[in-house]
């Protein structure tokens, strides 16, 4: 039987709690384990050491023009390197803390993001915020961006030339932020970052390093996928625990 607090936590991440007719319900047990973990505070605070005291991330500078935020944001704003610049409403560079320990990389802006110029503001973004809050991370204390800074028409998958045209911006963001950990959410993000076209189920639950860097990278399901497949939320909780361990150097 779930307590009121547990039911509240489950509701916050959108897991529907139901009472099993049988005394043993595997799915309910999984959910109860999820809640147990969700309501436990992180074992220790995430490092707030300034970037200068953290180990420097080894990232090759590939674009020498994009070495500060104003230059980078101007370059994204004026970019015409692929056709998406013409079809999108607004560029969507990223949001959050420019000195964040955690950098989250999704796929591409959707309808709401395209209108507002801010990533992850639609339903998927709201679920992402709840997932972060459930592990006691403040969504404003992480940096969130996408592989593409422009919305592909009808949210189709990004084309390879679009990913290539945009990759200098993502590389510059990683270089400027120097995060401690990258969380790649969804198949498109993971396959492009890791340059590995394995299915997402094979890429998650592994300790990766972002190619060309020494940055730890974890893969998890996209919140939009979770909205369609809520049963997979237990796996995301497993991934979030691994994320906290990395952030806490455990
Ligand atoms: N999905 C993404 O991958 N990114 C967004 O910004 C919104 C939805």
Q: How many residues does the chain have?
A: 250
Global pTM reads 0.80
Residue to probe by mutation, ligand 1, list 122, 142, 221, most atoms within 8 Å of CB: 122
Among 169, 163, 158, which residue's Cα sits nearest to residue 62?
169
For the cut 90, the answer to whether the pLDDT of residue 223 exceeds it is: yes
- Type and span of the H or E element at 103: strand 102-106
The mean predicted confidence, pLDDT, of the chain is: 84
Q: How far apart are CA 231 and CA 159, in angstroms?
A: 30
Q: pLDDT, tens digit, for every residue of 117-126?
A: 999 999 999 9
**Ligand 1 shell residues, CB under 6 Å:** 106-110, 113, 119-120, 122, 124-125, 146, 186, 224
Find residue 96's DSSP bridge partners: 143
How many percent of the chain have pLDDT more than 90? 73
What structural domains does the chain harbor? Answer: 4-35 (no CATH), 65-247 (3.40.470.10)
- Type and span of the H or E element at 165: helix 160-177
For 8-36, b where at least 16 C-beta lie within 10 A, e where not — what string? ebbeebbbeeeeeeeeeeeebebbbebbe
Q: How far is the CA of 18 from the centre of ligand 1 (A)?
A: 30
């Amino acid at each position: 039987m779930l307590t009121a607090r547990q039911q509240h936590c489950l509701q916050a991440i959108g897991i529907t709690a139901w009472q099993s007719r049988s005394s043993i319900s595997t799915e309910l047990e999984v959910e109860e384990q999820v809640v147990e973990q969700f309501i436990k505070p992180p074992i220790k605070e995430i490092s707030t050491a300034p970037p200068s005291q953290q180990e420097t991330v080894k990232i090759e500078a590939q674009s020498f023009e994009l070495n500060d935020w104003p230059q980078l944001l101007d370059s994204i704003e004026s970019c015409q390197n692929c056709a998406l610049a013409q079809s999108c409403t607004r560029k969507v560079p990223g949001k959050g803390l420019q000195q964040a320990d955690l950098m989250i990389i999704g796929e591409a802006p959707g309808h709401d993001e395209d209108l507002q110029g801010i990533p992850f503001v639609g339903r998927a973004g709201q679920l992402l915020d709840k997932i972060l809050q459930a592990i006691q991370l403040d969504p404003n204390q992480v940096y969130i961006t996408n592989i593409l800074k422009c919305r592909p028409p009808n949210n189709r998958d990004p084309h390879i030339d679009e990913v290539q045209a945009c990759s200098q911006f993502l590389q510059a963001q990683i270089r400027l932020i120097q995060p401690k950990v990258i969380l790649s959410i969804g198949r498109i993000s993971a396959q492009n970052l890791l340059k590995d076209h394995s299915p997402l189920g094979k890429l998650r639950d592994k300790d990766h390093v972002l190619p060309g860097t020494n940055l730890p990278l974890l893969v998890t399901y996209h919140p939009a996928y979770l909205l369609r497949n809520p049963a997979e939320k237990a796996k995301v909780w497993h991934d979030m625990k691994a994320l906290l361990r990395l952030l806490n150097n455990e």
